[in-house]
Amino acid sequence: GRLVDFLEEDLTGFPDASIGAAARTVHAGCKRAIEAMFQLEPVFREAEGARVTVAPGFDAGAIRLSGNVVGQPPFQGALRHHGWRAREVKLPPPPDGKDLTVVAPAEVEL
């Protein structure tokens, strides 16, 4: 929920130092949440900028081609982002009757 709060906040009136401090807190919390639910790995292990080959039959959901895409694979190109895939997903099943459209519940302190 804090990530959504952070992204929805209008930051134009805050000094950069305040935004940086908030970003560190949000980053740490989001990192813990992601690590608790997903075991992530890069789609390509090469460093960004490296020359890579995209083989015939590649998964278009895992590799997005850009630039002058002409012809058929294999393609050679520069890796602009290594991508991410979840090697393992540890999401609990939703409880019966839970509204799956709620991204983060409201909090009410009594």
36-46: pLDDT as tens digits: 999 999 999 99
* Rounded Cα distance, 110 and 101, in Å: 25
Written as one letter, the residue type at 70 is V
Task: Give the pTM.
Answer: 0.69
Q: Reply yes or no on whether the pLDDT at 3 is more than 80.
A: no
Nearest to 35 by CA among 84, 100, 76, 82: 84
- Residues 1/104, Cβ–Cβ less than 8 Å: yes
* pLDDT category of residue 78 using cuts at 50, 70 and 90: very high
Domain residue spans of the chain: 1-41, 43-91
